[in-house]
Structure formats: C-alpha cells, structure tokens
Structure 1
Amino acid sequence: MAALCTLTACAGYTPTPGSGTTDLGTEPATIETQPTDSPTAQPEKEQETGTRQTRWGPLSQTDQELIKKVRLASLWEMPMAQDAVQRASSGRVRQISKEIADQHHTLDRQVRDVAAKLKVKLPVKPTPQQQDWMTDISSKSGSAYDATYVKWLRLAHGQVFALIGTVRGSTQNTLVRRFSEQANAAVLNHQRLLESTGLTTPESFPTPST
C-alpha cells in the first residue's frame, strides 16, 4: 500500500492524551520485539507460564496481552489514520484522522517504554486480520473509503477498550495500571472521534456478549 506513510511520519507531535495520571515518559526505549506471524518467534518462558514479579509488582499474562495489543493497534491504526488524512473524501474524517494518528504516535512511544521496563517482547507488524482490514480500507475510494475506514477502526477500538477495562480493574502492577489509564483515555477519545463522523453502523461495534 504505497499510500501508507511510515510510523515515524508524525514525529513532531508531543502532547499526550490527557488521563489525569503521571506521564510514563515518551522517550523511545530499546526493546525486544517478535513478529506476530513468525513460526520461530517464542515468548520468554516466564511469559508462557503466567505471572512473574517485577519491581512495579506482579505482571500477569493479561497485563502483557494489553501491552502487546496496544502496540498492535498503533502498528496498523496509525498508518491508516495518516493515510486517511490524505485520502478521505470527508473533511471531518480527515480532521479526526489527524488527531488519531498524532495520539497513536505518542501512545506507541509510551507502550515501547513500558515494554522495555517490563521486558515484554512486542510485535513488529500487524496481525493477519489487521492486514486484511488495511487492505480492505485501501481498496476503496470516495465515501466507501471513509465508511470502511471508520468501520474497522471503530470495531478495533471497541475490542481493545474492553481489555483495557479488564486490566485496569485487575492488575497489581503499578506501571501497567498507569499505562492502562493513558491507553483508556486515548482509545475512548478515538471512539468518540470516529462516532462523530456519523459513519458508525451496527457493524462498527463488537458483537454483544450473550
């Protein structure tokens, strides 16, 4: 998708989505990464067996899952939002996409910092499903592009939003707790921005649990 820009294209952005919590830091950190679809990529043994201790408290499997999924969200939502700034036919979609891209840039730097401190390996490319969403969006033009873009981003934000709430309510790790609050503020804001376009449909929301 030639239209997609790199993940560092909005590097000039510095504000952090407000959360009322202490900033985790936005300086890039050296981290270990793992491809999301590599058959040879294996997480550390401690991560496979569940909770392990850190200086910030116990780090559970669910805590690590949130860190990885926030990273995955930025890997595809940030370039798609940057793309929409150029390609969307609606002025409102272009406007909200700029905000989403900028905030994902900050959130991605924060998640890399948290991962480095907690020694959590991060994915380096979107999942196959996320790549399918990117392909679907990029294959459209005009109003169909706008509607498809909003549909997939709103669906993805709704899915990770539920996980953020679970982690915020259960984690015993103080670093993860602060990060989950910042992620919560960003994702909630993105949902509101996407819904403000008037393009959200029932398909844009996660399937209700039975």
Structure 2
Amino acid sequence: MRLLDSRRALISCGIAALCTLTACAGYTPAPVSDTAALNTGPTALDTEPADAPTDAPTVQAVEDEPETGTRQTKWGPMSEADQELIKKVRLASLWEMPMAQDAIQRANSARVRQVSKEIAAQHHVLDRQVRDLAAKLKVKLPVQPTDQQQDWMADISGRSGSAYDTTYVKWLRLAHGQIFTLIGTVRGTTQNTLVRRFSEQANAAVLNHQRLLESTGLTTPESFPTPST
C-alpha cells in the first residue's frame, strides 16, 4: 500500500513538472530595450564627411578640359583646329536647333517660320554627323551652349512680333558668319580625311543657312558685324 502511494506521488510530481515546461515553451521574450548596439543608420559609404566641400567642380563643357596638340588617327593626323571645328559645329546645333524650333511657333513672319523649319531639319542632320564624327575620332563634345550663345537665346526669346523675327535672324546670321573662317581654314589645312569631308558638309550647311536667313529680307545693315579696318 505504501509502495502504491509512493508511485502515485511520483506520477503527480512528473505531471506538474511537465505542465511547467509546457508553459515556458510558449513564452516569447520581450524585445531588447537597449538598441545602442544596433546599426540602423546608413553605412559610411552612403554619407559624406561633415567637412566635405560642397562646391566641387562638375564636368559640363569641353572647354573645362582643353585638348591640345595634334593626335594621330587611322584617318590621318587631327589638329587642334580640326577638333575646334567639330566642337563649334556641335555648339552651333546646341543653341540654333532649339531657337529654330521656337521660331517655328513664335515668329511673326510666315517666311521666318518656313526658314526656321528648314534650318531646324538641316541642323538635326548636321548634329548627327558631328556626333558620329566625334565618336570615331574620340573628341569630347560640349553639352551646353556658351555664355554668349545663351545671351543670344535670351535676347531672342525676350522679344515678340517683328522684333522677335529681326533679332532671331540677326543673331543666327552673325553666328553662321563667324564660323565660316574656321571652316575654310580647316578645309584648306586638315590632313584628316574624315574632318576634310565633314568640313565640306559643314560649309554647305552654313552657306545654305545664310541664304535662307537672307531670304527673309531682315538682314539689315544693323544685322551685319562691323567691318574690320
């Protein structure tokens, strides 16, 4: 009888212990309140030092990285003048294309609107040619107009009516006239076969644009540069 009572007591203790373990198994510990050791912020690679300069220069135009001297290519030597022509033709497209597109919509004269449509289309072709040429010859191209060209754009855009037309024709004709000398120099001196062919394409385009602008009847004496003495 005493042995039976002892076994019953052991069984009761075992059941109690099992219940205690079961209750503990369902317990979930509370989150750690001390998060000082957790790195929840950005890593060092995502941030800059507090004393990092904020006015670091950015690469924008080719003028910031001048390329000097003659370079050898498989199409022949490429001189500084050759490279200058490629860059200046690109610069011309950067401001003349958007202004021609603007004039198609805003010009007062129907003739100026028609001329602008032709100039815009031809500049689109010329710009594709100059970008293809620059890629082959590894010439870095400008990405925005010069300060002077931006001034011309602002002067044109700030006008309306007939004043818009005359200012537009004035600056475009002046710009085309300025590049003629460089085109002639490169055509006569370049030893690079690709540049020589491109100079002829550029010359034809510029001459045609000059004629188109003059056909508007707005190339007054005021639109011509002052003759050199």
TM-score bracket for the superposition, by shorter chain length:
0.7 to 0.9
Q: CA RMSD in A?
A: 1.4
| Structure with the larger strand share | 1
In structure 2, the partner of 1:162 is: 181
In structure 2, the partner of 1:205 is: 224
In structure 2, the partner of 1:141 is: 160
1:125-168 Cα offsets, whole Å, 9 max, x none, are: 00000000000000000000000000000000000122111111
SS at 1:122's partner residue?
Answer: coil
Moved segments of 4+, more than 4 Å: none
Cα 1:37/1:144, change in 2 over 3 Å: farther
1:35 to 54, 60, 65: 60
Cα 1:191/1:109, change in 2 over 3 Å: same
In structure 2, the partner of 1:82 is: 101
2:170 to 128, 146, 151: 151
SS at 1:54's partner residue?
Answer: coil
Residues 42-191 of structure 1: pairs in structure 2 closer than 5 A: 42-43=65-66, 47-48=67-68, 50-191=69-210
1:193 paired with 2:212, answer yes
For 1:139, give the aligned amino acid: G
Q: How many residues align?
A: 171
Cα distance in 1, alignment partners of residues 185 and 228 from structure 2: 15
**Cα offset, 1:37, TM superposition:** 8.0
- TM-score computed with the length of structure 1 as normaliser: 0.78
What fraction of aligned residue pairs are identical, expressed as a percent? Answer: 83
Checking the alignment, whether the CA contact within 8 Å between 1:37 and 1:127 is kept in structure 2 is no
Which structure's relative contact order is higher, taking Cα pairs within 8 Å and 6+ residues apart? 1
Q: Which runs of 5+ in 2 are unaligned?
A: 1-58
SS at 2:72's partner residue?
Answer: strand
Checking the alignment, whether the CA contact within 8 Å between 1:115 and 1:122 is kept in structure 2 is yes
SS at 1:89's partner residue?
Answer: coil
SS at 2:77's partner residue?
Answer: strand
Checking the alignment, whether the CA contact within 8 Å between 2:62 and 2:141 is kept in structure 1 is no
| Structure with the larger helix share | 2
Q: Which moved more, 1:200-209 or 1:160-169?
A: 200-209
SS at 1:116's partner residue?
Answer: helix
